[in-house]
Amino acid sequence: QAKNLGRSRYLFFDQCLYENMLGKLELEEKLRHSLEHGEFSLVYQPIYQANGQRMVSAEALLRWPHATPDVFIPLAEETGLILPLGLWVLEQALAQAKAWRDQGHDIVVSVNVSHSQLHQQQFADKVRELIQASELPSSSLQLEITETALLEDWQGSIANIQLLRDMGVRIALDDFGTGYSSLSHLQQMPLDCLKIDKSFMARVHESERDKALVEALVSLARALSLKVVAEGVEVEEQVRIAKALGIHYLQGFYLARPKKAEELSFNPPSEPGPGASASAPDVRSG
Ligand code: C2E
Ligand code: MG
Ligand code: MG
Ligand code: MG
């Protein structure tokens, strides 16, 4: 009997493992199929000058009909599919930036890069090829990297980033403040810009402590001669405070949600185009 029990436990365990694996294989297969059949798409979220109202760049954000990025990006990373997928994103985003430029909009396209991409030895060369094919200046492209991506393979990542920066690509540190890099790491990173994570912005207008923390991040950026983007700006109060703290650029639902390229409005949020909501914000106020 004991033997039977042990065996059924074993079977149960195997069953779980099997189902788990099947789930992953199925999802991986689904992701691969989607990449081959053009089921991925990009949306773009504008980034505005805090003073003035110009849309200076747009962040490309990946969309998949079957799950949110928080779910499928880690999966794509785990399965290695992020490498071809990441190249697809870069190619698409550069083509879009070229189209904007041809329409007279000089906008930097900002693309998120995964750690496995950044750790590839040939990554900088691949980006160079894609930029050349796009006929855009390198300065039209910004890459968003995270602290954890860097720390996993410091030498390799820094080498790639240095190559990219030398060719004129801009580098932004995404979700700044949520990682574990030390000040000395930060000092050694060849960066142009820090994107303060939205979790720091969330209560900046309600909590003196959070405001003081953001203020500290801004002075850190200033000491390193870096530009600062505030992510996750959702209410007008946050705009006012971000401006008062000397933050250079703003991104968030209050100003604009991520949209399909063809739905994007180049009008400043204070002068909404047709179809914009009546309660459109005014970045200039405050
Ligand atoms: P992220 O790079 O930090 O992107 C910003 C996320 O914040 C986006 O979520 C955006 O929709 C959201 N967001 C923007 N403004 C606001 C706001 O005011 N309030 C709130 N609550 N959220 C706001 P999304 O599109 O779901 O993307 C999530 C994450 O997935 C991204 O975080 C990025 O890490 C990753 N991701 C998206 N696209 C790509 C991609 O092409 N490649 C890679 N490697 N990662 C990507
Ligand atoms: Mg980002
Ligand atoms: Mg971010
Ligand atoms: Mg994030």
Residue 278: predicted pLDDT: 40
Residue 166 vs residue 66, higher pLDDT = 166
Ligand 1 contact, 69 CB (< 6 A): yes
pLDDT of residue 182: 84
Q: Output the pLDDT for position 189.
A: 93
pLDDT tens digits along 92-139: 999 999 999 999 999 999 999 999 999 999 999 999 999 999 999 999
Instruction: Report CA(61)–ligand 1 centroid distance (Å).
Output: 6
Report whether pLDDT(245) > 70: yes
What's residue 104's pLDDT? 95
Q: Which atom of ligand 1 is nearest to the CA of 113?
A: 44
Residue nearest ligand 1's atom 22 by CA? 232
Query: Could you tell which of 64, 112, 203 is best to mutate to test the pocket of ligand 1, judged by most ligand atoms within 8 Å of the CB?
Result: 112
What does the alpha-carbon distance between residue 35 and residue 41 come to, in Å, rounded to a whole number?
Answer: 10
Contact 191, 173 (CB under 8 A): yes
Q: How far is CA 198 from CA 56, 195, 233, 250, 274, in A?
A: 19, 9, 7, 11, 29
Strand partners, 249: 49, 229
Beta carbons of 108 and 141 less than 8 angstroms apart:
yes
Tell me if 61 CB under 6 Å of ligand 1.
yes
Instruction: Check residue 26 and give its pLDDT.
Output: 83
Q: How far is the C-alpha of 19 from the C-alpha of 185, rounded, in Å?
A: 42
Q: Looking at this predicted complex, what is its ipTM?
A: 0.98
